[in-house]
Structure 1
């Protein structure tokens, strides 16, 4: 369990907090490019790392992320007019470009040079792979964007599933790196005899208590969870945590699978998830599992229409207000949870802990070894930055993010790290022969 002090340190992400300062050293996803569909479109409210910001696309198509309150007298720039390469506050007409420069101050005398002395807070943005990335850190020249594989693929080759989580970002991270929960929460209603022998899913439901090996990496932490496969072999699920809030889940075949999840803190109590999955050729939305079952939960959970408030983007139809759509008859007679969609099953568990779980009350076991290691790395990195100004892992080394996750069958006693090195460290876009269709 964590001490009260460490629980505060690792969960709080607002301006000036140790963990918030750590995250600001990285480029972070702010929104989808599709949320700003054309030049001079409507501005969007964006809550990010505890800051209220306004996203807008100017007349040239460039994206800006600007402070919510106009520097003049504090009116919200959400109500601004997006016109002629700037966002104009409708209170007094002051206008700001994507770099925060005041380009017009029409209620001041012509001879006034005050606009030359004024600048709004903005954060630099770049678009890559359908995501607007922003840098909120201290450097005048930002570090390079990470070489994570989704930043190298054409947008038509993968699907992005955004969703709002009403809980702290760390609860989502810890849910993703806890592989043993899948055998119950997601596969609990699936039995070995219902799945084709020799498949990953068959081995997962035949032995729901994997063993673990966990190692630190240049980008974060990697685990290998293993269980018996055919005689003389073991099935390994290999997955990653990447600084500051990225996970790669172990579904699909290692070297062929591409699943990347971003758990972006909006504030201490809300997380924006971006789940990125390789798009199959037949257009069916699914995780790239090996082995099928009619009971395997679908991933594409329905969303409510977006609203314009701070937490109105990408909200699930199934949420705490309707108990995540739980069907008790379904739970009794068909599957394990009675909750239909895989991400909603996760969210129900993570949000049911409360907005920020009190980790001084938990009792960790052997199966929590990856959770423990990730916490240690995050706390150590945040303290090293705060106390010794040590730059967090991966910030200046974008190439360390060239990694994949997935499943593989290995002989018993094999060195899993050495045996999977080439498959894990494949870089560049997915080749035709390695695509997971």
Structure 2
């Protein structure tokens, strides 16, 4: 468990906090490119790291992310007129470009040069792989974007699933790197005889208490969760935590699966999730993270229905299955052998657990076990990196080395006694195709 001081330190991400300062060293996924569908489209409210910002696309198609309050008298630029290569405050007509420069001040005399002395806070933005990335850090020249494989694929070869999570960002990250919950929360109702022998799912439900090996990496941390497989083999689930808030879950087959999940802090108690998948990981419109053998009624869809979008700070990508309706838990279904949680959607099952902890869970109350070894390691890495930055100005892992993000995750069978790190080195490399692995598909 964490001390009260460390829990506050690691959870808070607002301006001036050590963890917020750490995250500002990196490029941050701010929104989908499709949220700003064309030049001079409607502005969008965006909450990032506790800052209220306004996203807009100017007449030339460039994306800007600017402070909410007009520098003049504080009216919200959300109500601004987006035209003529800038966002114009409707209170007095002051207009700002994507770099925050005041380019027009029509309520001042023509001879006034005051507009040249006024600048709004604006963060540089670039678009790649369907995402708008922004840099909120102190450098005049930002670092390179991370080499996230799925975010570097050509248009049409990737899928992004955004979702709002009403909890602290770290609760979402820790839910993703906690692999032992899969055999209970998601597949607790499935018995080994329900699924085909020799599949990853069969091994998972046959032994729901895997052992773990965890190592530090130059991008964060990696774990291998292992359990017995067919005679002479061990089933390994290999996954990653990447600084500052990315996870690569062990879904699909190692060497083929291309996935990255971003858990972007909106503020201390709200998170925006961007699940990025290579498109060939989708089957019939569903992510292949779902098992495909056995009784299909036990394997609900992942994509949760969304509520109508609103324009408030937390109105983007809100799941219709949420705390207000108890995640539509069906107690009768829960009593039946076909469901463990009684909650239909896999993503809703995760969200129910993470959000039920509260906005920021009091981790001084935890009683961690051996299955939490990856959670413990990631906390230590985050705390150490944030303190090293705050106290010694040491640049956090991965900021200046985009290549360290070139990893893949997934499941693999290895002979008993194999060196899981050395023997999966090639399969974990991004941007490398493995026809011998693809020939094994489909696998759960």
User: TM-score, normalising length from structure 2?
Assistant: 0.96
Please list, as runs of the form range in 1=range in 2, the aligned pairs for 1:124-139 lying within 5 A after superposition.
Answer: 124-139=124-139
Deviation of 1:296 (Å)? 2.3
Between the aligned partners of 2:285 and 2:109, the Cα distance in structure 1 is 61
Contact 1:255 1:423 (8 Å CA) reproduced: yes
* CA drift at 1:297: 3.1
2:176–2:247 Cα contact (<8 Å) kept? yes
Contact between 1:195 and 1:291, CA under 8 Å: does it hold in 2? no
3-state secondary structure, aligned to 2:237: strand
Match of 1:238 in 2: 238
Q: Is the 8 A contact 2:150 2:277 kept in 1?
A: no
CA distance in 2, matches of 1:71, 1:250: 47
- Aligned partners of 2:43 and 2:67: how far apart in 1? 12
Instruction: Please give the per-residue CA displacement for 1:92-117, whole angstroms capped at 9, x wherever unaligned.
Output: 00000000110000000011000011
Alignment of structure 1 residues 308-387 onto 2, 5 Å: 308-333=311-336, 334-387=338-391
Q: State the Cα distance separating 1:151 from its structure 2 match.
A: 2.3
Q: Is the 8 A contact 2:255 2:434 kept in 1?
A: no
Q: How many residues align?
A: 436
**Aligned twin of 2:303:** 300
Give the Cα–Cα distance (whole angstroms) in 2 for the partners of residues 434 and 62 of structure 1.
Answer: 41
Shift of 1:276: 1.4
User: How far apart are 1:189 and its partner, in Å?
Assistant: 1.0
Shift of 1:283: 3.8
* CA positional deviation for 1:434: 6.2
Structure 2 equivalent of residue 269 of structure 1: 269
Match of 2:91 in 1: 91
Distance of 2:38 and 2:430 partners within structure 1: 35
Say if 2:402 is the partner of 1:412: no
Distance 1:93 1:358 in 2: 47
- Conserved? CA contact 1:257–1:288, under 8 Å: no
The answer to whether the Cα contact below 8 Å between 1:201 and 1:291 also exists between their aligned partners in 2 is no
- Aligned partner of 1:70 in structure 2 is 70
Q: CA deviation digits over 1:43-76, x for unaligned, max 9?
A: 0000000000000000011000000000001000
Post-superposition offset of 1:159? 1.4
User: Cα distance, 1:150 vs. partner?
Assistant: 1.5
Structure 2: gaps spanning 5 or more residues: none
Aligned 8 A contact 2:291 2:299 in 1: no
Residue matched to 2:160: 160
- Contact in 1 for aligned 2:79/2:89 (Cα 8 Å): yes
Moved over 3 A (4+): 280-283, 288-291, 430-437
Closer/same/farther in 2, CA of residues 92 and 151 from structure 1, 3 Å limit: same
Do the aligned partners of residues 288 and 216 (structure 1) sit closer, same or farther apart at CA in structure 2, a change above 3 Å counting?
same
For the 8 Å contact 1:169–1:263, the answer to whether it is kept is: yes
Distance 1:259 1:191 in 2: 28
Counterpart residue number, 1:285: 286
CA contact (8 A) 1:186 1:297 kept: no
Alpha-carbon distance in 1 for matches of 2:109, 2:161: 49
Q: Structure 1 pair 409/33, CA: closer, same or farther in 2 (3 Å)?
A: same
Cross-structure match for 1:52: 52
Q: 2:32–2:130: 8 Å Cα contact kept in structure 1? A: yes
SS in 1 for 2:427: helix
- Report the 3-state secondary structure (helix = DSSP H, G, I; strand = E; otherwise coil) of the residue aligned with 2:5: helix
1:108-156 deviation digits (Å, cap 9, x = unpaired): 0011000011111000000001000000000000000000102220231
Q: 355-364 or 293-302: which moved more?
A: 293-302
1:189 & 1:46 partners in 2: Cα distance?
Answer: 39
Q: Is the 8 A contact 1:46 1:52 kept in 2?
A: yes
Q: Structure 1: how far apart are the matches of 2:413 and 2:291? A: 12
How has the CA–CA distance of structure 1 residues 350 and 199 changed in structure 2, closer, same or farther, with 3 Å as cutoff?
same
CA contact 1:252–1:290 (8 Å) conserved in 2: no
Report the counterpart of residue 4 of structure 1 in structure 2. 4
Cα deviation for residue 378 of structure 1 reads 0.1
In structure 2, distance between residues paired with 1:124 and 1:426: 27
Q: Which 5+ residue runs of structure 1 have no aligned equivalent?
A: none
CA gap of 1:187–1:264, structure 2 versus 1, over 3 A, is same
For residues 49 and 9 of structure 1, do their structure 2 counterparts lie closer, same or farther at Cα, with a shift above 3 Å needed?
Answer: same
Structure 2 contact 290–299 (Cα < 8 Å) conserved: no
8 Å contact from structure 1 (residues 255, 434) kept in 2: yes
CA distance in 2, matches of 1:5, 1:218: 27
The 8 Å contact of residues 11 and 169 in structure 2, kept in 1 or not, is answered as yes
Aligned to 1:403: 407
Change (3 A) 1:433 1:125: farther
Any idea what the Cα deviations from partners look like across 1:281-337, whole Å, max 9, x if unmatched? 754212345652321232111111110000000000000000001111111112101
